[in-house]
Structures are given as structure tokens and as C-alpha cells.
Structure 1
Amino acid sequence: MNDGVTISTYEFLTRFTTEREARSYLEDCRWHGSPTCPECGATSRIQTRKIEGYYRCLTCKSDFTVRNGTIFERSHVPLDKWLYAIYLLVTARKGVSSLQLSKEIGVTQKTAWFMLARLRKACGNGNDSLLSGIIEADETFLGGKEANKHEQKKQHSGRGSVGKTPVIGMRERGGRTKAVVVEKVDSNTIKEHVEGQITLGSDLYTDEHAAYKSVAGLNHQSVNHSAKQFVDGMVHTNGIESVWAVLKHGFYGIYHHFSQKHNQGYVDEFTYRLNERNVKELTMGRVDALLGKSVGLRLTYAGLVG
């Protein structure tokens, strides 16, 4: 369990040297010493099997391990490698590529890509609570630079958002961040996503984008970036813009490309990592938090690529 310390990569690797040590840690994190059947939820009448790490529920007659009912289910990757992948994801500010992860843990790039997709699904799990207080909102656009594209893929429409994927983001002052990939950033879309994520009566600070004026139930104020007004007393969007800076550094520097289908997963990864650092979680605290989010999820390869 979380021992409240920040540990180095070397310390992490020496702590979990075998699958058995990693499995024991996951069991402690998930069950706190009392194995629970993932099928019926029973905590009593749980029998230890001959094979280490396997259990049988005498209530519903099902066999299970700590992997069942998590993103690790039916994965052949050892749990010590899974734990190290989590460590890399939560400590790498700009993210970790599937190529780098494959080299770090000795699996194929395809396997590493699938592992990271499962972890990103966990990053977006349970992010339903509303933001409150002072909220900064803004939009950004994800997509490759025109100069770096093959000729047949260039938009030839000049600079701007053409051919890019829009993302709406909201950040509490000193708190959590939420971001959602959308098809467009018109008034109806912004109204729907902003109103659905912020507690009524909160303060909403934005730039001069007219779409935010349609948002109801919030105390809206704005700064006019086009007129070189970036701060007006307490009103500014510096916090959410710093989120976009980190996201784009990861996009261009680590991943180089986000697939349209998987854009939300990458955005969830970055917002999760920022949120855990905002609450000043230490290394094992961040690992434990993501392990907690991995329960109750399942992502198959067919479901990912289909």
C-alpha cells in the first residue's frame, strides 16, 4: 500500500522484482487482506487454491485471481511489468510512448500499445464529480503541423484549426482538470459540456469566445485575448492554457500523433496525471490511485481496434 514516499526508478524496480511481489501488492491494494469474489462480491467462504494467487469462491463456485474484473484480466504480461508501466505513466510528465515502454519492459510494441490503452481507460474512470469554485475554460485543437505532413494529407487552408480535433477543457483554480474531445466548438456544444461539468453558481473565466455567453447558471467573466488583454484582476485563463502546453508538448514530443479514435484516451491520460499532481500525491500514492481506477473495467483488443 501507499507508504507516503516518492521513490526513484531504481527503488521501484528493486521493490518489485518478481511477479509474486507485484501480485501481493495488488492484492493488498484491492482487497486489504480479505480476498473478494469479483463475481458475487462475497468476502467469506473464499478458499485458497493450490496454485499460488488463485482463489475459489464457495458461494458461487467461481475461481478468480486479483486480475479478474480489472484492466489486467486475461493479460499474459506479468504483474511486475504492469506495475512498472503504471509507474512510468504516472511519473512521465509528457507521457510514455509504446515504443519506449516496449523497450523498458521487454514486450512487443503492439503489446505495449495495448497496455497503455488499458491504462488510459483507467485514467478516465470515475471522473464524474463536478468542478466548483473558480473555473477556467478554454479550447484547443490537436493535430499535426502542416509542414510535417505528407503532401496528400495537407489541408492547404493556412494556419488554424482546419483538419484538427477540438478539445474543451476546464480547470479549477488550484484543483482538478477536465477535458473532453468534441466535434466542434459552437455555442450548443460548449453550453452542453460546460454546464454539465461545473456546479451551479461557480465562477467561470474564459477568453472572448462568444459561445461561453450562452452558458447558464455560472458567473461568467472574460478577458479579450484578441485585444492583448490577458489578465483582468482575478480573471484569466493561464491555468487551463498551461494544461494545453503540457498536452501539446506530449503530443509533438512523445506521441507525434493521436489517432482520432483514441484522442479521448490520450486527453484522459494527461488530465489524470495533472490532477494527481495537483493534489500532491507522492509516487506510490499515484500508483495506488490508478490501481484503484483499474477495477471494474475491461478492454479487449477487438474492442479497442474494432
Structure 2
Amino acid sequence: MNSPADKGSFKLSNIVEVDETYIGGKEKNKHASKKLNAGRGAVGKTAVFGMKERGGKVKAMVVNRTNKKTLQGKIHNNIQAKSTVFTDDFRGYLGLQGFSHKTVNHSAKEYVNGMAHTNGIESVWAILKRGYNGTFHNISTKHLNRYVDEFVFRLNEGNCQIDTKDRMVSLFKGIGNNRISYKELTE
């Protein structure tokens, strides 16, 4: 699944925090016929991958897999080479080349190691999940990429210093010729 964020015309640079999260209901809260009975944690949830430039913009997208090839491919496509990339100790980031790569070991309860931390991108996940749990309650996997794009837009364009006219211009440029029919939306 690719979202417009993955095709963005800009690349993040300098110090970039990278992380993944999973969106979906808890297995224990599902109706018996909908339970997967395959474990806990990320089972039955959809992966969302994100990157946040310190003091800058955010990119996030729904991904089909959180393996090394997928995650590192997204990093190379969306972050300028030789930038500093901070991640947690997830194995999908092992062996990341072309960047200054620093990690924090969440499994050993290490959340900050000098300048290395993922607190900024985890704040993005908190906002996304607050919208999921508090406002929308249920987001279908089919449309999750649209919700993620909306939250990324809000975070990137939400600066109060931006004039309303400039915000509208940015919105219309982002829309471009993308049209979605009611039928496509509801299928």
C-alpha cells in the first residue's frame, strides 16, 4: 500500500526519527466470530510506518510488511542520504546503510541514549491513536491510508503562523486531480 506521503516531493533530512505502529482493535474486544485467535500484540492490526524530522515535517504511510526490505526501502526513498536516523531496536532497521544510524533499546527499557530517541515520532502515533480511539472509533483498513494522510497534513500544516489563504493553496495543491467517487469510497 502506498500513500501520497511516500510519493512526496520532499525528503526529510538532518535528524530523523523513524518508527512503526499498529492500528486496529484489541483481539479481546472483538466479537467471537471476528477473533483471529492467533496471539496478541500486532495480530490482526495494520502497520503504519512513519518518519519525523526533528523540528520539521512528518511522513507516514500504511505498509503491508514491517520487514527489513520494506522499512529500509521507505527510509531510502524519503530521507536524504547521510542524515542521522534514530530508531528503536526493531530488527527491520538492522544494517541500515547510507545514514548515521543510532538506536535506543526499548526492550531493555532504554528510551533515550544521548541525542538518540524516538519520542517525536511516538508523539505522532499518540495523536493518530487518539483520533482513532476518541473521534473515529473504527477505521477500515481500506481507508486507513487516507486517515494517516489527513493526520500528517494536520501536523505538517497546522502551524498557527500560516495564513488561511496559504493553507487553502496547500490543500488544493495536495488534492491535485485526485478524485474519488462515492461508489469507490463505500465499496
TM-score (norm 1): 0.56
Q: Cα offset for 1:268?
A: 0.4
Measure, in 1, the Cα distance between the counterparts of 2:161 and 2:29: 37
Structure 1 SS opposite 2:153: helix
Measure, in 1, the Cα distance between the counterparts of 2:107 and 2:170: 40
Q: Cα offset for 1:191?
A: 1.3
Structure 1 SS opposite 2:158: helix
| Structure label with greater radius of gyration | 1
Describe the superposition over 1:90-112 as per-residue Cα deviations: whole angstroms up to 9, x where unpaired.
xxxxxxxxxxxxxxxxxxxxxxx
Structure 2 SS opposite 1:271: helix
C-alpha spacing 1:282/1:147, structure 2 compared with 1 (3 Å): farther
Q: Residue 239 of structure 1 is aligned with which of 107, 120, 125?
A: 120
Describe the superposition over 1:235-267 as per-residue Cα deviations: whole angstroms up to 9, x where unpaired.
100000000000001011111111111111111
Structure 2 SS opposite 1:196: helix
Q: Cα offset for 1:154?
A: 1.7
The 8 Å contact of residues 132 and 199 in structure 1, kept in 2 or not, is answered as: yes
Q: Give the equivalent residue in structure 1 for 2:138.
A: 257
Q: Cα offset for 1:125?
A: 10
Q: Give the equivalent residue in structure 1 for 2:150.
A: 269
C-alpha spacing 1:203/1:125, structure 2 compared with 1 (3 Å): closer
Listed as ranges, the matches of 1:1-306 within 5 Å are 127-277=8-158, 280-306=161-187
C-alpha spacing 1:151/1:280, structure 2 compared with 1 (3 Å): farther
C-alpha spacing 1:186/1:126, structure 2 compared with 1 (3 Å): closer
Describe the superposition over 1:167-196 as per-residue Cα deviations: whole angstroms up to 9, x where unpaired.
110000011111111111011111111111
C-alpha spacing 1:283/1:246, structure 2 compared with 1 (3 Å): farther
Measure, in 2, the Cα distance between the counterparts of 1:125 and 1:191: 13
The 8 Å contact of residues 5 and 61 in structure 2, kept in 1 or not, is answered as: no
The 8 Å contact of residues 195 and 215 in structure 1, kept in 2 or not, is answered as: no
C-alpha spacing 1:279/1:197, structure 2 compared with 1 (3 Å): farther
Measure, in 2, the Cα distance between the counterparts of 1:125 and 1:276: 17
Q: Cα offset for 1:279?
A: 8.0
The 8 Å contact of residues 19 and 118 in structure 2, kept in 1 or not, is answered as: yes
Measure, in 1, the Cα distance between the counterparts of 2:41 and 2:99: 29
Measure, in 2, the Cα distance between the counterparts of 1:148 and 1:277: 34
Q: Give the equivalent residue in structure 2 for 1:34.
A: none
Q: Cα offset for 1:282?
A: 4.8
Measure, in 2, the Cα distance between the counterparts of 1:197 and 1:188: 14
The 8 Å contact of residues 131 and 176 in structure 1, kept in 2 or not, is answered as: yes
The 8 Å contact of residues 124 and 269 in structure 1, kept in 2 or not, is answered as: no
Q: Give the equivalent residue in structure 2 for 1:18.
A: none
Structure 2 SS opposite 1:180: strand
C-alpha spacing 1:199/1:139, structure 2 compared with 1 (3 Å): same
Which amino acid in structure 1 is aligned with residue 126 of structure 2?
A
Number of equivalenced pairs: 185
- Give me the CA root mean square deviation: 2.2
Describe the superposition over 1:26-80 as per-residue Cα deviations: whole angstroms up to 9, x where unpaired.
xxxxxxxxxxxxxxxxxxxxxxxxxxxxxxxxxxxxxxxxxxxxxxxxxxxxxxx
**Structure 2, gaps ≥5 residues long:** none
**Structure 1, gaps ≥5 residues long:** 1-120
